[in-house]
């Protein structure tokens, strides 16, 4: 193995802790610098890394450093593209949290900047590279369910304000249940069934305000600026139809996370917001568990960044790609357009299904 990919992290908020805990067991990457609008948070993150990590004042300072090969972009969605473009223009690879950008134009600008400079851009979610989604994909690819006919994907919660101390960005443009959680489910569906060619949707905004439920600002109210319940039908290029429900308005439910139904069997797929979980198949005589047969074992946030580092060294495409993320973003935005217009709309973008993680750790 060569030298690890040196990482500069932009944003040291809540999600950064999950990445830092994964970095400890990923020899292919090494954190070298961190910046945040709140210097105290950056210092805390640097100390948690347990290494000689520099704390720098601005994004411009971080992307200019010689000891940064790639930028980990953990900022809020509204500035994902801005930070990514700054990194790319400085000659750095980028891996970011989802969504790739706030709109299609920003996403295309990021892709074009990377193409022009021969740089890599990766994007969460990387949960779909874990053993849960990958074992389910192997079952589909191996023909265990026959020809895929339909899928369902459900993400239901009462809202993130119950646990997040600063939840407003979830309810501003660029947020909402679809753009926040949809990337997990749609990325999984593309891995399982391929790209989406047409969508139909509907959406609603039952409450004009929300109340912060935890932290020092508990009890404060804030406006809701986006629809918080979205449902849609997705038509995949291979012919399968997926039914999607993403909601911040459901108190409790007994819905499955993802199911895929074929001409020979049905498949129960674990929560794509996690890396592992039980995959079960029903061939007509009850549910049975499938073995862990594919995917990165013991995955955590940052597995996709490690896959990008390995892909650079091996000269292959990385799996948590910007092209997949741009297609997922386009599907979500087209679904919201279809909901607003009350019609079905074609999805203009497409992407290749990422290469499977064929066996644990490969």
Report the alpha-carbon distance of residue 210 to residue 281 in Å, rounded.
40
* DSSP category for residue 357: -
Strands across the sheet with 54-55, in order?
54-55, 29-35, 5-10, 70-73, 93-96, 121-123
Report the alpha-carbon distance of residue 151 to residue 155 in Å, rounded.
14
Report the alpha-carbon distance of residue 244 to residue 8 in Å, rounded.
36
Chain center to CA of 24:
21
* Catalytic residue from among 14, 92, 98, 348: 98
Report the alpha-carbon distance of residue 164 to residue 146 in Å, rounded.
42
Beta bridge partners of 210: 222
Beta bridge partners of 152: 243, 259
Report the alpha-carbon distance of residue 338 to residue 344 in Å, rounded.
6
Report the alpha-carbon distance of residue 335 to residue 202 in Å, rounded.
8
Report the alpha-carbon distance of residue 73 to residue 87 in Å, rounded.
9
Other Cβ atoms within 10 Å of 89 Cβ, number? 13
Phi, psi (rounded to 5 degrees) for 233: -120, 130
Question: Is the bond preceding 125 in cis, omega lying within 30 degrees of 0?
Answer: yes
Query: Any catalytic annotation for residue 92?
Result: no
Report the alpha-carbon distance of residue 77 to residue 8 in Å, rounded.
18
Q: Comparing C-alpha atoms, which of 207, 211, 249 is closest to residue 230?
A: 249
Residues with catalytic function: 98
């Amino acid at each position: 193995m060569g030298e690890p990919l040196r990482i500069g992290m932009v944003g040291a908020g809540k999600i950064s802790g999950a990445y830092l805990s994964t970095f400890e067991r990923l020899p292919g990457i090494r954190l070298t610098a961190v910046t945040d609008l709140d210097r105290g948070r950056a210092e805390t993150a640097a100390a948690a890394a347990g290494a000689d990590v520099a704390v720098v004042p601005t994004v411009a300072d971080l992307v200019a450093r010689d000891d940064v090969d790639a930028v980990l972009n953990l900022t809020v969605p509204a500035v994902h593209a801005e930070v990514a473009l700054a990194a790319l223009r400085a000659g750095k690879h980028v891996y970011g949290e989802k969504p790739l950008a706030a709109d299609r134009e920003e996403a295309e600008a990021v892709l074009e900047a990377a193409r022009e400079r021969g740089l890599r851009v990766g994007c969460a979610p990387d949960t779909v590279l874990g053993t849960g989604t990958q074992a389910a994909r192997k079952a589909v690819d191996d023909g265990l369910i026959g020809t895929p006919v339909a899928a369902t994907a459900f993400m239901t919660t009462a809202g993130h304000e119950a646990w997040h101390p600063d939840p407003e960005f979830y309810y501003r443009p660029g947020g909402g249940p679809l753009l926040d959680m949809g990337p997990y489910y749609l990325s999984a569906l593309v891995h399982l069934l391929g790209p989406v060619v047409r969508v139909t949707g509907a959406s609603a905004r039952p409450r004009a305000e929300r109340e912060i439920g935890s932290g020092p600002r508990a009890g404060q109210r804030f406006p809701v600026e986006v629809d918080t319940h979205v449902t849609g039908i997705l038509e995949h290029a291979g012919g399968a139809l997926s039914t999607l429900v993403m909601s911040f308005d459901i108190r409790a439910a007994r819905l499955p996370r993802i199911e895929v139904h074929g001409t020979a069997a049905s498949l129960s797929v674990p929560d794509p917001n996690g890396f592992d979980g039980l995959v079960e198949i029903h061939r007509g005589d009850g549910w049975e568990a499938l073995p862990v047969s594919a995917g990165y074992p013991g995955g955590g946030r940052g597995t996709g960044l490690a896959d990008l580092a390995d892909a650079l060294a091996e000269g292959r495409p990385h799996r948590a790609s910007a092209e997949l993320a741009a297609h997922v973003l386009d599907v979500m935005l087209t679904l919201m357009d279809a909901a607003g217009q009350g019609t079905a709309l074609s999805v203009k973008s497409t992407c290749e299904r990422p290469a499977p993680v064929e066996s644990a750790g490969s």
